[in-house]
Amino acid sequence: MADKREAQKNLKRLQYLKTWQLVLVFLLFAFIAATFMRLNNVGMAQRREAVIQADKAGDKEAIKARVFELQRFVTSHMNANMGVVYLENQYRRDSQAAIDAASGVSNPNGNIYKKAQDECAPKFSHYSQAYLQCTVDFLNKYSPAEQKAVSPDLLPKVDLYRYSFVSPLWAPDFAGMFVLIAVFILFVIIARITGVIILKSIIKARNNHS
């Protein structure tokens, strides 16, 4: 009988707070968490665009600063995966500088790097690994002697101009904290429902034995 009375008392305590009330609180915090996660994604997009604009402007210090800001934001916020950002314009400028530097090399075939650029540039809308491969393939048509010791590795590596940072699954930002609260409330809802079922089963079992 004592177990039955204790179960009934615990059941009444659980029933003071209704499940629907907990569900409403859970939905509220889940909505707030989703809003902050959306804001994180918007913040990432803004910083990614800042990198692209700095790349177009051609200021190396600004590019470095914007890339650092993007990295810091993405790696410390949830739902901020950025994909890949490619410094196309900086690659183009550095490639052109390398080609211009090779122009002074004495070569009976002319400036083969300029020829490679004229051959490959019309085939691609932007500088990429495919463009680089096209250039290297063109240069490889010439023997080392014909290249006058100018290496196909003269052009910068494409990977050095490609950035991709990964957002954590969870981070202690606003979105992360509200996600934790929402998960805790969901756990309470599940625990409450489970507790009510167990206590009702105990009371029913005691009534059957009475």
**What is this structure's pTM?**
0.69
What backbone phi and psi angles, to 5 degrees, belong to 198?
A: -65, -45
Q: 93-123 b/e with 16+ CB inside 10 Å = b? A: bbbeeebeebeeeebeeebbbebbbeebbee
pLDDT of residue 134: 82
pLDDT string in tens for the chain (210-residue length)? 445 555 555 556 555 667 788 889 899 999 999 999 999 999 999 999 999 999 999 899 999 999 999 999 999 999 999 989 999 889 888 877 776 676 555 555 556 777 777 788 788 766 666 777 787 788 777 666 555 444 556 678 888 899 999 999 999 999 999 999 999 999 988 887 886 677 667 667 666 655
